[in-house]
Amino acid sequence: MIVFRYIFKETLKTQLSILLILLLIFTSQQFIRILARAADGSIPSSLIGQMMLLNIPYMGLLLLPISLFIAILFAHGRLYADSEMTVLRAIGVGPSYIMRISLVLALLTTVVATVNTMWLAPMAREKQSQLLDAAKADPLSIPLESGRFLSLDGGHLTAYVEDVQDSGRSLQRIFLLQRSPDPAEAAIIVAASGHLTNDAQGTPWVTLANGKRYAGTPPSTQFSIANFAEYKAQLQRKDIEPSTPKARALPSSALYNSTDKKQIAEWQWRVVLPLSIPLMTLIAVPLAVVNPRQGRYAKLLPAVMLYLSYFLLLSAGQSAIERGQLPEMPGLYIIPVLFTLLFAVPMNIKSTRLWQRLRIYWHKEKC
């Protein structure tokens, strides 16, 4: 039990460290992309934090399997390089026991990955779509910048603000072109200051202070000029049709028994991803066996290449199913089966008792 806790703890600590490092790297990349979208006005800056958090479950789809795979290579490789595994072998701890310890951790990781793949990641994607749809419909979500013309209220207002403060809520020196289907109702408004607010019902309003309103019908020179201390205009919410949810944002219950090729490919992807964790564990444990003279990272490169080839095949298979180039059955399921037969079984069969007995039997037959 002491050996079990020791190896389990070492592998788990390494896995969590790798997962945290990878999460920080990919989160930083996502932050830069989301920040760029906020800068060009694609999404409001108020959604940056929420979009970042909602991206974490989706990143976990691939980070959980690879974190355990590399953790086994690093943790077990260190034990072999420091000759600790040699000592464990001397006291009766064989490869099968090491494999059982690793599979226990793989099972726990598989449970977490299944929950994330089947429920959390699709929910996060759907929530992202809802937030973006709501932002498109809200005229106040459009980022205001100093010294730039901006279209508001579905194109009925064109605004120019010389100075924007308080995250776009406080405005200084404002020019507004107010359009209307009736040319007689078109107007130009200038004001010293203003602000954007929502009333108790959530209706957006723009309130201007100390300005003038010019109304007239070109090309006539007859214009009416009205001075005002306060002027309010309601901003109409845009009629945005909810975006059609993509397959990766649909709940797993909607994908099961679906006849749509994209949804079938997404369902198989969600099933195969968690199952890849125990499969990769069966491959990683024998690959972690190194000679102390070789160093702990001796087999890291071929192991990573094997891992990448597996997931690239899964990704290519998913695209092929979506395009109808790969049969829906066996579909993606054939890839883990092939890797099991070609790599997992040959790598582990030599450490089984059956194989040892067969070797003894063959040796006796030869003698």
Last residue of a domain, one of 203, 234, 265: 234
219 and 183 in a common domain: yes
Asked if 159 and 152 count as a contact pair (C-beta separation under 8 A), the reply is yes
Residue 240 maps to a domain: no
3-state secondary structure (DSSP) of residue 358:
helix
209: nearest Cα among 191, 226, 234, 196: 191
**Residue 157: which domain range?**
142-234
Mean pLDDT calculated for residue range 303-320: 91
Last residue of a domain, one of 211, 234, 257: 234
279 and 260 in a common domain: yes
- DSSP letters for 50-116: HHHHHHHHHHHHHHHHHHHHHHHHHHHHHHHHTTHHHHHHHTT--HHHHHHHHHHHHHHHHHHHHHI
150 and 282 in a common domain: no
Q: What is the mean pLDDT of the chain?
A: 81
360 and 277 in a common domain: yes
Q: What single-letter amino acid sits at 109?
A: T
CA–CA separation, 183 and 189 (whole Å): 15
The pTM of this model reads 0.77
Last residue of a domain, one of 185, 210, 234: 234
CA–CA separation, 71 and 73 (whole Å): 5
3-state secondary structure (DSSP) of residue 143:
coil
- Of the listed ranges 58-72, 184-198, 258-272, the one predicted with least confidence: 184-198
**Does 140 score more than 60 pLDDT?**
no
pLDDT tens string 202-242: 677 778 888 888 877 766 667 788 888 888 777 666 655 66
252 and 209 in a common domain: no
pLDDT tens string 57-115: 989 999 999 999 999 999 888 888 877 777 877 877 777 888 889 999 999 999 999 99
pLDDT-derived band of residue 263, with 50, 70 and 90 as boundaries? confident
Q: What single-letter amino acid sits at 225?
A: I
Length of the chain, in residues: 367
Residue 90 maps to a domain: yes
Q: What are phi and psi of 145, to 5 degrees?
A: -125, 145
Q: What single-letter amino acid sits at 328?
A: E
Residue 265 maps to a domain: yes
**Does 139 score more than 60 pLDDT?**
no
Residue 333 maps to a domain: yes
3-state secondary structure (DSSP) of residue 163:
strand
Domain count, the chain: 2
